[in-house]
């Protein structure tokens, strides 16, 4: 566990935060559909990874308020990227499901972002690339804590 009273740990945490934020911003620019906000793309990614969900479940997973998620889902539905279906057990609720159009767009977006990252990584030497490969699972774990 980092000791934030220790100078080296403070510097490492600061460097990690800065690098992750900068890389994230650059990665967000590698989009296939510029009309979608990063939040809309994130919701589609969540649906792709977790399957269908109610707007309330999506709001929790995306850390937004339910009224905001209702608006996001409505925008995605208007763009033909999700469809709302009756909840199988609770008629008061709807279930949000991504469409084939959304899945195709996400696949192309992942391809484009992966290619961009691969081009960046091609500039690393073998030692740095090995370190990055080892760090990837740790970064993934941090992203899901």
Task: Check residue 76 and give its pLDDT.
Answer: 97
Q: What is the pLDDT of residues 26-82, one digit of tens each?
A: 888 887 777 888 889 999 999 999 999 999 999 999 999 999 999 999 999 999 999
**Per-domain residue ranges for the chain?**
1-30, 31-143
CATH architecture of 31-143: Orthogonal Bundle (1.10)
pTM of the model: 0.75
With the C-alpha atoms ordered 98, 113, 33, 29, is the resulting torsion angle positive or negative? positive
Confidence check: pLDDT of 4 > 70: no
How much is the pLDDT for 35?
A: 82
């Amino acid at each position: 566990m980092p000791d934030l009273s220790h100078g080296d740990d403070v510097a490492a945490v600061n460097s990690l935060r800065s690098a992750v934020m900068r890389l994230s911003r650059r990665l967000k620019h590698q989009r296939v559909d510029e009309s979608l906000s990063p939040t809309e793309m994130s919701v589609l990614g969540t649906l792709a990874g977790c399957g269908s969900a109610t707007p309330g479940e999506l709001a929790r997973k995306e850390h937004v308020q339910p009224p905001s998620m209702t608006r996001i889902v409505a925008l995605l539905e208007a763009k033909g990227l999700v469809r709302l279906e009756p909840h199988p057990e609770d008629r008061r609720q709807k279930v949000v499901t991504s469409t084939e159009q959304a899945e195709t767009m996400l696949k192309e977006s992942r391809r484009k972002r992966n290619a961009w990252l691969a081009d960046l990584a091609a500039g690393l030497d073998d030692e740095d690339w090995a370190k990055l490969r080892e760090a990837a699972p740790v970064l993934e774990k941090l992203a899901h804590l």
